[in-house]
Structure 1
Amino acid sequence: MLPNDLRNVLEAYLQFLYWEKRLSDNTIQSYEQDLEQLVGFLEKKDIVSFSQLDQDMVEKFLRYEAKREIAPASLARKISALRTFFQYLIREKIMPENCAKLIDSPRFQRKIPDILDESEIESLLNAPDLAKPIGIRDRAILELLYASGLRVSELTALEFSHLDLENFMLRLWGKGFKERMVPFGEEAGEALNRYFQQAREQILKGKRSRSVFVGASGKPLTRQNIWVMIKKYARKAGIEKTITPHTLRHTFATHLLENGADLRVVQEFLGHSDIVTTQIYTHISKKILREAYARSFPRK
């Protein structure tokens, strides 16, 4: 059984998330932040063990958090984190029952992600200068992000062993180290080949790296590098929307659905464990649903 003091139990839980649940670093950091706030609150109340918790105390903590005027989505995330954590405490026989299971999450409007239309995508993809090695590399990055719906963390971790250029496929490990195969288009394949043949060695200048996308140091590009790059090319392309690397992922999913892809297929491409996460993209498909209804329903 685990030691029953608050911080040791929390540390054991975070190790459990990493080694057994195989969650990503970002997800674990999010759990840690929420649960550290709970621990700090309990310490102020002179509570030394999670076994002392009941629903009333959990509700007091959530009211305390709500007074800080945090967003409803953040409060809902905290409640979800508590439920998951308490399930772990039940498993470890520290808590007899889940005292957050009856607490309702606040209702909130899920934010619809920004996407680019096809003309904006074309402008963005054409923004890099193909007369320069860096421009050739950046064009390949933009093409691949749009053609495959990669998370930026997956792009920066991409190595040659993950690429099948002949069959236009990627082998990826996403959140929780889950493996999936994702196709990409011929234009993205051409951009990658151009990068490998004309630019990558010039950028590396004799250095060696297993990573696909590298800087002059020979090290893989970082998330921040990709973020800054996309902002630069969005300005150059005259795109006024606020876009990030994730915008290309949203746009990939949206354009697939607009052109008739099945939601389950899009879920597989994006690596979502729950189709509810993928359903956010169906807001853009109402027009398609109306058109399909008009084509199919016999009574006009």
Structure 2
Amino acid sequence: MNDLAKNFGQNPVIEEPEFLLLLFQRFAQHAELLNFSERTIQVQRSALRLLAAFLVEKAITDIQAVTLTVLSDFQRWLFYRPTWKGAVRSATSMNRTLSVVKSFCHFLKQEGYLARDPSEDLEFAREPQRLPRNILTPQEARKIVETPDTSTHVGYRDRVILEVLYATGIRKLELMNLTPEDVNLEEELLRINGGKGGKGMPQIPPDLLKGGF
């Protein structure tokens, strides 16, 4: 056992209960056998210290007493517990901790410390959807769309694909599922089958209707 595993339970602020120390160390050894990086093991250590703090606060002294209800309470406890910087804990941060706890519980079941995995039905917090950081400008997007050589059949096909993707915002799979019957030239609309995001009937790009670029 190296120093990382030996010191897995040491923390100047939170002192893990005795019944968790051995389990934490075994989990660290398991991570080392899987060749996890020191950084990953440190993340695991931080997450399990939070779990230990919660169990101490709730006076839980037996790993067998850790149930789905207990872990759900831990999830709520995390939500109201600020980070060490005093900031509100984000959904991403909570889910990172819960992911470690899930791995820990799964390990305990595999090793026979638990009859069943109490985290099996534990759901992650819903993370807010974020826009991509790097978004093309209209000029950059137009440059990409105009890249294919429309004097060739393949180039013309590729130009049509890019025009439709850029102008309608449909997904690749939705584009691949388009059929001639989905093209309404009279109303200048496309019918999206099985689409997501409520796209409905997007407008056909005007350049395509003109038959040229």
Cα deviation 1:118-175 (Å, max 9, x = unaligned): 9xxxxxxxxxxxxxxxxxxxxxxxxxxxxxxxxxxxxxxxxxxxxxxxxxxxxxxxxx
Cα deviation 1:248-297 (Å, max 9, x = unaligned): xxxxxxxxxxx9xxxxxxxxxxxxxxxxxxxxxxxxxx539759849x85
User: What's the TM-score once normalised by structure 1's chain length?
Assistant: 0.37
Match of 2:30 among 13, 16, 25: 16
- Gaps (5+ residues) in structure 1? 119-258, 260-285
Calculate the aligned-residue CA RMSD, in Å: 3.6
Offset of residue 39 of structure 1: 1.0
Describe the SS at the equivalent of 2:103.
Answer: helix
Describe the SS at the equivalent of 1:5.
Answer: helix
Partner Cα separation in structure 2 for residue 291 and residue 70 of structure 1: 33
Instruction: Give the residue type in structure 1 aligned to 2:62.
Output: S
Partner Cα separation in structure 1 for residue 106 and residue 171 of structure 2: 45
User: Is 1:28 aligned to 2:47, yes or no?
Assistant: no
Q: 1:98/1:11 Cα in 2 relative to 1: closer, same or farther (>3 Å)?
A: same
Give the aligned partner of residue 92 of structure 1: 111
User: Is 1:287 aligned to 2:166, yes or no?
Assistant: yes
Partner Cα separation in structure 1 for residue 48 and residue 132 of structure 2: 28
Partner Cα separation in structure 1 for residue 98 and residue 129 of structure 2: 16
Give the aligned partner of residue 68 of structure 2: 55
Give the aligned partner of residue 114 of structure 1: 133
Partner Cα separation in structure 2 for residue 85 and residue 105 of structure 1: 15
Partner Cα separation in structure 2 for residue 82 and residue 15 of structure 1: 16
Offset of residue 24 of structure 1: 2.4
Partner Cα separation in structure 1 for residue 171 and residue 103 of structure 2: 42
Partner Cα separation in structure 1 for residue 59 and residue 20 of structure 2: 11
- Gaps (5+ residues) in structure 2? 1-17, 82-87, 138-146, 148-164, 186-213
Instruction: Give the residue type in structure 1 aligned to 2:27.
Output: Y
Offset of residue 109 of structure 1: 2.3
Offset of residue 71 of structure 1: 0.9
Match of 1:44 among 57, 66, 75: 57
Q: Is the 8 A contact 1:7 1:39 kept in 2?
A: no
Partner Cα separation in structure 1 for residue 171 and residue 129 of structure 2: 25
Describe the SS at the equivalent of 2:36.
Answer: coil
**Structure label with greater radius of gyration:** 2
